[in-house]
Amino acid sequence: MVLRKRRVGTRIDNIDDADLLLLKKRVDIATMVIISLIAILIARLWYLQIHLGEDYSHQAEENRVRVQVIQAPRGIITDRRGTVIVGNRPSFNVVWMKEDAPNPDEVIKALAGILHLDIPVLLDRVRAGSSQPPYMPLRLAEDIPWAELVYLENHRYQLPGVRIEVLPTRQYLNDEFASHFIGYLGEINKKELETRADDIYQGGDQVGKTGVEARHEAQLRGEKGRNYVEV
C-alpha cells in the first residue's frame, strides 16, 4: 500500500476584478512608499557624506590640531650710519591655558605668590579672558624677572595651565632719543582692531603708538608664524 502526501493549501474563490484591482493598488502604494523611504535615506547619506563631509572633516581637524601663533620680531631701526638705535630682546611672559587647568583657583593663588601680585588682580585678568577659546593663551604677566622664570620652570608640573611664552620686545639703546623721536609701542585697543582693514592683528598685539614706530608700523611689524600641534 502506497501512501501519498497531499498538499495542504488555501484556495481563494469568489474574488472579483474589483477586489483584485484594490489589492493591486495597495501593493503598488506600499511599494512606492518603500522606494520613497529608501530614496530619502540614500539622499540623506549622500548629503552627509559628500556635501557635508568636507565640513565635518575640517571641524574634526580643528578640534584635533592646536594652532600656536609665533610672534614675529619687529624690524630693527638704525640711523643713517647703520648704527642700531632700536633692537629686540626676549621677553618672558606668563600665560594661562585654562583648558589645561583642572583646579584654576588653587593655581592662581600659588601663582600670585610667585609673581608677587594680588590674587584679585590675577583673577580679574583670568575673568577678562573667559570669552576667548580655552586653547588660546591668556597673558597674565609680562617680562618677568629671571628669578621668577627659573622658579616657574622648575615647578611647572605643580602649576597646570601655566606656561611661559617668549616674545621679542623692544630694546631702546638711547632712551632719551627714543622717547622723543622713535616713539613707543602699546597694546592694540578695540578701536584700532576695528579700524584696521587687515586681519593680521589680534588682542594683545603690540603696535606703534607714536613716532617712527607708528608711522612705519606696516614695515616694522613683521609677519607672524603658525605652529600646528596635535592634541
Q: Does residue 89 surpass a pLDDT of 80? A: yes
DSSP H or E run through 161: none
Range picked from 22-26, 39-43, 124-128 for highest mean pLDDT? 39-43
Question: Rounded to an integer, what distance in angstroms lies between the CA atom of residue 143 and that of residue 119?
Answer: 19
| pLDDT at site 93 | 92
DSSP H or E run through 226: strand 225-230
Q: Does residue 85 surpass a pLDDT of 80? A: yes
Question: Rounded to an integer, what distance in angstroms lies between the CA atom of residue 117 and that of residue 25?
Answer: 83
| pLDDT at site 56 | 57
| pLDDT at site 58 | 58
**Mean pLDDT, rounded, of the chain:** 79
Quickly state the pLDDT bin for 103 (edges 50, 70, 90): confident
Query: What are the angstrom distances between the C-alpha of 166 and each of 9, 92, 161, 163, 173?
Result: 89, 5, 16, 10, 21
Hey, what's the cell of 82?
A: 647703520
The CATH number that domain 71-230 falls under is 3.90.1310.10
Residue with cell 631701526: 77
Question: Rounded to an integer, what distance in angstroms lies between the CA atom of residue 176 and that of residue 115?
Answer: 30
